[in-house]
Amino acid sequence: MRYLALFFVALFFAGAAIAEDYTLTIKDHKFQPAELLVPSGKKVKITVKNEDKTPAEFESSDLDREKLVQGNSQIDIYVGPLNAGKYGFFDDFHEDTTKGTLIVK
């Protein structure tokens, strides 16, 4: 019985460590959604799907991330646990049109 309780405690902490999944799509050189809402204090996995034919580079100095996304492909980015606030990001290859904000609440 005691071991069973320990098992559930371990399961609980394992669950807390698993990242929540979010998707960010790049289409026609725009991020969809332009504002992505994620929870504070949690590890977050963001899949960046590039539906354009041209490569993009997901970049954020706020999040300290920079990663190439080839055309018609996707990458995963892990961030957090983050404090509540707003974190800007953009496509370094199309900085004028392709930008967004990660809103952490």
Binding-site ranges for Cu ion (CB under 5 A): 57, 59, 66, 92
Contacts of 20 (CB under 8 A, 6+ apart): 38, 39, 42, 43, 44, 45
Q: How many helices (H) and strands (E) does the chain have?
A: 1, 9
Output the smallest distance, CB 15 to Cu ion, in A: 35
Return the number of the residue (69 or 102) whose C-beta is nearest Cu ion: 69
Return the number of the residue (49 or 65) whose C-beta is nearest Cu ion: 65
Output the smallest distance, CB 31 to Cu ion, in A: 16
Output the smallest distance, CB 7 to Cu ion, in A: 45
Query: DSSP characters for 6-22?
Result: HHHHHHHHHHHHSPEEE
Output the smallest distance, CB 94 to Cu ion, in A: 12
User: Using CB atoms within 10 A of its CB, is residue 94 exposed (0-12), middle (13-18) or buried (19+)?
Assistant: middle
Q: Which residue is nearest to Cu ion (CB)?
A: 92
